[in-house]
Structure 1
Amino acid sequence: MERTGIRTICAAVLSGAAMLPGTVAAQSVDLPTTCNPAADAAIDDGLTRLHNMMYIQAEEAFNRAAVADPNCATAQWGIAMSIIHPLWPGTPSEAETARGQAAAQRAIELPAGSDLEQALVQAAVAFYAPGLDGYRARLSAWADAQQAAEKGHAGNIDVVALAALSRLATAPRGPARAEIFAAVGDTLDALHQKEPDHPGVIHYAIHAYDNPSLKARGVPYAEIYDKIAPDAPHALHMPAHIFTRTGNWEKSVHLNDRSAKAALAQSTDIVQSHYAHAIDYMVYGHLQLGAAQQAERLVTEMLAIDNHQVSFGGAYALAASPVRLLLEQDDWSGAAGLSPKMHSAIPWEKFPQAVTMHWFAKGLGAARAGETDTARLAVAKLKELHTAMQDRGQDYWARLTEGQILSVEAWIELDAGNTDLAVTHQTAAADLEDSLGKSPVTPGHVLPARELLGDMLASLGRAEEAADAYRATLAHSPNRARSLRALK
């Protein structure tokens, strides 16, 4: 496929869209600092963008503050914070980490400012402290320091909101996660009552309630976030996390359309990963609505861009969306025929957890199309990727890959006539995937293992058990089209 750059795609996608729909004045924050007025204003701009997770723009704003007041430690705090990305999968690049470390060191060397400013600086500096082993340890150190800052400055909404974010970012997976998220949600609900337009409070509340058991609490926030930050691509996308949980595909598609257009409009040398992230959610929504042609058009447009930002979010979307088109429509031969070559803009060796979806789709498609040798090759590739993730400490993604391997092996065994073993493998894959849950980077697994169990049981004539599997899938992922069709 011929590739093109940002300008061509912008012209195609944004024609006739000079202004985003529903645009209103964006809300800003007001962090008191001892910096000069120009720097103080730039810090408020940067912090607003930081709360909206527009990290590139946030860093630019904090850099403006540093130029306006070279003695402003809080400007350096903001630069250091713009690198951390607490809730995003993946880790900062070496270049990003070097910028953050330099800013943290500069913040220490400058006059401390107020007690509030000093507490914030110390929290950011904790992330970059020497001797910490890996990103999770750094994140934990920042979280501890940010929560210590909260104790001394509980009356400052930005400090408390960032402490809430730190609790979300360090919450363990498993049964305790929902309980922690609910408690963080209680804190954010109280802050929202005091300051209903604060972008960080609304944003972090959506993340707190991005959970099957808490989704109803997130709906009020999902309904307003795009009004608070109408030009921020990530803010326009975030409500879709809740609408995906509730199965409201029309709202998800609409908001992600606005997000993708905003990301393109604000991209310059590279296309922000906010664009690809929104497209993946939109592709998923269109497929649930039965609008496959719209989904295919979006994937074609996304793949035609050759200057995507290198990030895990972008890599995930570029890997997931093409295979969703095939798997959601039961195109097993198409999935089996996937080329090993993936999009050239991404250095895929950096993102094994995204590459797994490509080989899972190829393996599953091959197994279901009776191409056993290809399916076994895919399993071997998945096992290589699993080892790479284990070596990198990517435990969540490694466990998900274990489920993918079990699913492909299940369908290989079914093709070989080993029915009991096939069902055992697919059941184990479904139980594992359900226990792990989905990452916020994805609207849903490219094909849920529990739904695949329903397919397998249905093919064996075990209709009642199959129906139970499809209903269980819908309990996790309401209004999924394949499960709904299977139950008719």
Structure 2
Amino acid sequence: MKHFIVSATIITAVIFAVVYGRKQTPAVTTNGLVYCAPSFDPATIKAENAPVFEGLGNHHYKVTTRSEKAQQYFNQGLTLLYAFNHGEAGRSFKAAIALDSTCAMSWWGLAMVLGPNYNAALNPASLVEINEAVNNAMLFAKNTAPNEKALIAALRLRFPRTATSDLSPYSRAYAASMQKAQAQFPDDIDIAALYADALMNEHPWDLWMKDGTSRPWTPAIVTQLENLLVTAPLHAGANHMYIHAMEASGKPEAALASADRLRDLLPAAGHLVHMPAHIYIRTGDYSKGILTTEAAAVADSNYVVQCKVQGTYPLLYYPHNIHFLAACAYLAGNSKKALEAARSVSAHADSRYLDENVTLQHYYIIPFYVMVQTGKWQEILNLPEPAKTQLYPRAIWHYARGMAYTALDKINEAQNELASLKVIGKNEQLNEQLIWETNTAGQIVQIATSILTGELAADAGNFDLAEKSLRHAIGIEDGLMYQEPPDWFFSARHTLGHILLLAKKFPEAQKVYEEDLTKYPENGWALMGLYQSLVGQGKTSDAGAAKTRFDKAWTDADIEINSSRYY
């Protein structure tokens, strides 16, 4: 997905103390560490609270230090940096500094994790500590090896001294310096990985056009990572970044090998266990996506519980794995697992912060979407009404109720829900509320409004209006910024295709389903619709092939369908 670029404003609106409550630093056996880039309050990163984790592999990057334990913490911090758990990495680097304050590379690591990354912008409040760390890294660099000096020299260029709204000159200068470092040390796999990271951070989440063609700067990033993976196929950072580099491309399958490697590489890094699902959902390997997200959810649950993690991580990041599970399960036809996961996501949306954070609101209403897609009509009608202050949940609540009433042939009630949905949809605040800093709640509400309008028109036999409404919904859906799982849950093409079949527009329906299968390969919902569209055209042989594909896709399903949508 385009996961998100987390703004400091959103994070500080929901973050509270990050507490570990540990007096010692025992080894922690945990299967979970991270979702993308948890932000953190630098003041809460305490060296004495840094555990030593098991299950993070044995990656080693030799640094100049007089303490063997400091080297161990540095290795762990670097691994956690590659895993995008910057808060936990910061604790490891601070623990290394506490053991050896003259270790320049521990100061380097601290500055790195306090700075911007692929998912998070620079928090200006961190600049004082960042510059202190950079100064100390430079101060102690004189006694380090040449490769360490090169990394620290590049680090010096990465950050402004004072807050600025434009970091691009610093990002460019840092990347250029890392390019020189790689040229100087061509066999250093970590310098190569960090150079790739620098290139990606020049253009975070802007590597591909919507049609899957690359941006001008993307081939250099892809080549850098592919070359590194030839040399170091088990490098966690390289595999992680390559998945991010390829997930929105026209050929996500290129990262399948990285996905398969990464799911078992570091079993204690929950985010890395989860990351393969970003490729599996793009390649139609939904069963693998289910398995990896289940394992990641267990890993992160262990981490949160055992390490008593509070704040941003359990609020926003840990539920992402479960959200992904709901998406993969739905696409595989496993309605029970999809709904269980959706309810778990919703349960993690802390009610204390719902009013102020639309991403939490999005998590809260994932069950609404799954219930619509799996026909849980009475359960929908039993859902409590969201607070009036929560425009987005209220809108989707009306949408779900409208869909339920339509399916139950209570058209007057459905029309009333549509009217209420349209009233909320006119509120301009929805267009200012961002889900993970990508798409607006207003866009999602527009899709919901168009789909419900189309369903009611089709019920009345007005297929022209129904098709027009659904094509409008698809236009908005296709215009959404890349996100996995997608912010609209799930494809409006499933509904349009069904309506086209009702209108006996079989060739048009076939085209819609084929388009959907390019977005979500081998999903059974579209395959069933494709089969029906081919039967309607008398294309017996092609229909048989589509049915065979459907049967394979529906192997682990727990519901029977005879349409591209359940309702």
- Pair in the same fold by TM > 0.5: yes
User: Shift in Å at residue 52 of structure 1?
Assistant: 0.9
One-letter code aligned to 2:363? L
**Contact 1:234-1:259 at 8 Å conserved across structures:** yes
| CA deviation after TM superposition for structure 1 residue 210, in Å | 0.7
* 5+ long unaligned stretches in structure 2: 1-28, 33-53, 142-148, 186-190, 532-567
- Contact 2:434/2:440, CA 8 A, preserved across alignment: no
Distance 1:340 1:70, change over 3 A: farther
Q: Distance in 2 between matches of 1:391 and 1:252?
A: 23
Which string of whole-angstrom CA distances, capped at 9 and with x for unpartnered residues, describes residues 176-211 of structure 1? 864144542222010111222211110010111213
| Kept in 2: contact 1:212–1:476 (CA 8 A) | no
Which residue of 1 is the match for residue 368 of structure 2? 323
Listed as ranges, the gaps of 5+ residues in structure 1 are 1-17, 343-347
State the match for 1:363 in structure 2.
Answer: 399
- Following the alignment from structure 2 to structure 1, what is the Cα–Cα distance between the partners of residues 134 and 56? 36
RMSD of the TM alignment (CA)?
Answer: 3.9
2:163 matched to which residue of 1? 130
Q: Give the Cα–Cα distance (whole angstroms) in 1 for the partners of residues 524 and 338 of structure 2.
A: 14
SS, match of residue 53 in structure 1: coil
Does structure 2 conserve the Cα–Cα contact (< 8 Å) formed by 1:215 and 1:245? yes
- 1:448 aligned onto 2:491: yes
Output one character per residue of 1:298-318: Cα deviation in whole Å (capped at 9) or x when no partner.
344454558699898973772
Residue in structure 2 matched with residue 6 of structure 1 by the alignment: none
Q: Distance in 1 between matches of 2:214 and 2:379?
A: 42
Quote how far apart the aligned CAs of 1:454 are: 1.5
Q: Which moved more, 1:189-198 or 1:59-68?
A: 59-68
Distance 1:259 1:240 in 2: 10
Equivalent positions of 1:253-332 (< 5 A) are 253-267=290-304, 268-270=308-310, 272=314, 273-304=316-347, 315=360, 318-319=363-364, 321-331=366-376
1:105 maps to what in 2? Answer: 131
1:414-453, aligned counterparts within 5 Å? Answer: 419-436=463-480, 438-440=482-484, 442=485, 445-453=488-496
Which residue identity does 2:329 align to in structure 1?
Answer: H
Instruction: Please tell me the residue identity of whatever aligns with 1:60.
Output: R
Deviations 1:39-80 (A, max 9, x none): 444233212111111223212112213323445564444334
Contact 1:219/1:242 (<8 A) preserved:
yes
Deviations 1:451-471 (CA, angstroms, capped at 9, x unpaired): 232133234343332232122
- Worse-matched range after superposition: 447-456 or 163-172: 163-172
Residues 46 and 61 in structure 1, CA contact (< 8 A), matched pair in contact too: yes
Residues 277 and 293 of structure 2 are in contact (CA less than 8 Å); yes or no, is this contact kept in structure 1?
A: yes
Partner of 1:250: 287
Aligned to 1:118: 153
Q: Rg bigger for which structure?
A: 2
Structure with the greater relative contact order (CA < 8 A, sep ≥ 6): 1 or 2? 2
Match of 1:479 in 2: 522
Provide the C-alpha distance between the structure 1 equivalents of 2:335 and 2:234, rounded to a whole number of angstroms. 37
Farther-moved stretch of structure 1 (455-464 vs 206-215): 455-464
> More displaced, 188-197 or 36-45?
36-45
Deviation digits for residues 413-451 of structure 1 (CA, Å, limit 9, x no counterpart): 5567764344223213313422445313x1673021222
Contact 2:256 2:279 in 1 (8 A): yes
Aligned to 2:73: 42
TM-superposed deviation, 1:242 = 0.9
Q: Structure 1 residues 148 and 34 mapped into 2: Cα distance closer, same or farther (>3 Å)?
A: farther
After superposition, the C-alpha distances for 1:258-297 in whole angstroms (9 at most, x for unaligned) are 1111101111143635531111111222223332223333
Structure 2 distance, partners of 1:396, 1:142, is: 30
What does residue 37 of structure 2 align with?
Answer: none
Amino acid at match of 1:258: A
- State how far apart, in whole Å, the 2-side matches of 1:173 and 1:153 are: 27
Alpha-carbon separation, structure 1, partners of 2:336 and 2:478: 30
Residue of structure 1 in register with 2:41 after alignment: none
Q: 1:389-409 CA deviation, whole Å, 9 max, x = no partner?
A: 389985677655554554445
Q: How many residues align?
A: 448
TM-score by length of 2: 0.68
Distance 2:108 2:352 in 1: 24
CA contact (8 A) 1:199 1:225 kept: yes
Identity of aligned residues (%): 19
Given residue 468 of structure 1, which amino acid in structure 2 is its aligned partner?
A: K
Cα 1:54/1:317, change in 2 over 3 Å: farther
Q: CA 1:362–1:469 in 2, change beyond 3 Å: closer, same or farther?
A: farther
